[in-house]
Amino acid sequence: MTPATGVTSRQRVGAWGRVPEELSARVPVEQRGPGLDRDAVRLLVSRGTEVSHHAFVELPRLLRAGDLLVVNTSMTLAAAVDGRVGHARVVVHFSTRGDDGRWAVELREPDGQGTTRARAGGPAGVEVRLPGGVRLVLEEPLSAGGERLWWARVTGAEVLGMLREHGRPIRYSYTERDQPLSVHQTVFALPSPDGAGSAEMPSAARPFTARLVAELVSRGVGFAPVTLHTGVASTEAHEPPYPERFSVPEASARLINAVKAGDGRVVAVGTTAVRAMESAVGADGVVRAREGWTGLVVTPRRGVRVVDGLLTGLHEPEASHLLMLEAVAGRAAVDRAYEAALRGLYLWHEFGDVHLLLPAETPHAEHCVSNCW
């Protein structure tokens, strides 16, 4: 497993500028008032460069019978654990388990306010003492010249068991307080046979509720599961994504191919679903069952071969994820949408509002959308 190379985060801040701190979602929407559920977030919709504003619960009316939502079923792990290096307190973020049993980890410093700040990793040989007599030893950076993520070997306990007993969900400084692990699971999350999961929630799917899924199915919208276990985000450096484990099962590959052969649209729920699908599609445009590691970074230059639309959160202007959005919808559409999101005071990050990017509608398609229900 080696990091993706040759790709940097966006070279300029978008024309829409930076995101004010007050637009960070500090708590989940269901904790902002009585009677609210996860689906009470707002939904920004882009059809080409046309932008409209909706509630997320309107999603069933914005999709068509025959459309397919591709969802990530990875469960979120309680991936943050307190430790000590000598007398210094650290927080270890467990990112990804390698094939050799080592873990890619990030060491961070407590900031005294319940969250953490960046800390240089290393050097090789540093030992971190973890709860229950567990020891973690840093061995080598994940990438040549890298300082943030290190390969580490853990002794004294099985890591997933230690996380279940002593871990908590990763939290960043823009949030107000720690949340229980259940808040970080999506309605689509399923246990993996080997216990693996994501270091951070595949958050684009968070607003879905069982009720909304049932309504989508009743209107003829399909679902296809894939799995991609996400590593820890690069909140300060905005690095491109590292290789991650993924799986596209045979049944989902067949569903995707059938929709592509018909009149439906394949809509990825989250950038993780895009990465998984685009890692399983051949040059012929056919998706095949596949699993393993993917180092694919979707950029405008590479483009997308299977994804027609994308439902995702709102990303910081330096985030490499924006390159994926541009690959799906084009830069003009992304800039127009983000300008509208700022004007409309949409909320960013994992507990924030969401953005649906769809192809521009033809007059015939618009007529169908307004009359086919």
| φ, ψ (nearest 5 deg) of residue 340 | -65, -40
- Separation of first and last alpha carbons in the chain: 48
Residues 63 and 89 placed together within one structural domain of the fold: no
Residues 126 and 227 placed together within one structural domain of the fold: no
Residues 279 and 245 placed together within one structural domain of the fold: yes
Residue 307 lies in a domain: yes
Give the model's pLDDT for residue 236: 53
- Neighbour tally for 177: CB within 10 Å: 10
Q: Tens of pLDDT along the chain (373 residues)?
A: 544 444 444 444 456 678 889 999 999 999 999 999 999 999 999 999 999 999 999 999 999 999 999 999 999 999 999 999 999 999 999 999 999 999 999 999 998 877 888 887 788 999 999 999 999 999 999 887 678 899 999 999 899 999 999 999 999 888 999 999 999 999 999 999 999 999 999 999 999 999 999 999 999 999 999 999 999 976 555 567 789 999 999 999 999 999 999 999 999 999 999 999 999 999 999 999 999 999 999 999 999 999 999 999 999 887 888 999 999 999 999 999 999 999 999 999 999 999 999 998 775 544 343 333 3
Residues 284 and 361 placed together within one structural domain of the fold: yes
Beta bridge partners of 224: 70
Give the model's pLDDT for residue 191: 95
Residues 197 and 214 placed together within one structural domain of the fold: yes
Residues 137 and 196 placed together within one structural domain of the fold: no
Residues 244 and 282 placed together within one structural domain of the fold: yes
Give the model's pLDDT for residue 325: 95
Residues 285 and 139 placed together within one structural domain of the fold: no
- The pTM assigned to this predicted structure is 0.91
Residue 146 lies in a domain: yes
Residues 240 and 330 placed together within one structural domain of the fold: yes
Contact in structure between 260 and 306 (CB atoms under 8 Å):
yes
Output b/e per residue, 347-371; b: 16+ Cβ within 10 A. bbbbbbbbbbbbeeeeeebeeeeee
How far from 311 is each of 3, 35, 264, 331, CA to CA, in Å?
Answer: 26, 25, 16, 16
| φ, ψ (nearest 5 deg) of residue 5 | -125, 165
Residue 5 lies in a domain: no
Residue 173 lies in a domain: no
What tokens appear for 363 in the block?
A: 């007059």
Of 123, 127, 107, 120, the C-alpha closest to 147 is 120
Residue 177 lies in a domain: no
Residues 94 and 72 placed together within one structural domain of the fold: no
Question: Using CA atoms, how far apart are residues 372 and 338, in angstroms rounded to an integer?
Answer: 30
Residues 64 and 98 placed together within one structural domain of the fold: no
Determine how β-strand 116-118 pairs with β-strand 103-110: antiparallel
Which residues have CB under 8 Å from 132's CB, separation 6+? 156, 157, 162, 165, 166
Residue 194 lies in a domain: yes
Domain-ending residue, one of 168, 202, 230? 168
Domain-ending residue, one of 168, 197, 218? 168
Output b/e per residue, 59-68; b: 16+ Cβ within 10 A. bbebbbeebb
Question: How many domains, the chain?
Answer: 2
3-state DSSP assignment of residue 289: coil
Of 260, 208, 338, the C-alpha closest to 278 is 260
CATH classification of the domain holding 197: 3.40.1780.10
Domain-ending residue, one of 168, 201, 223? 168
Residue 174 lies in a domain: no
Domain holding 251, by residue range, is 21-76+182-371
Give the model's pLDDT for residue 189: 98
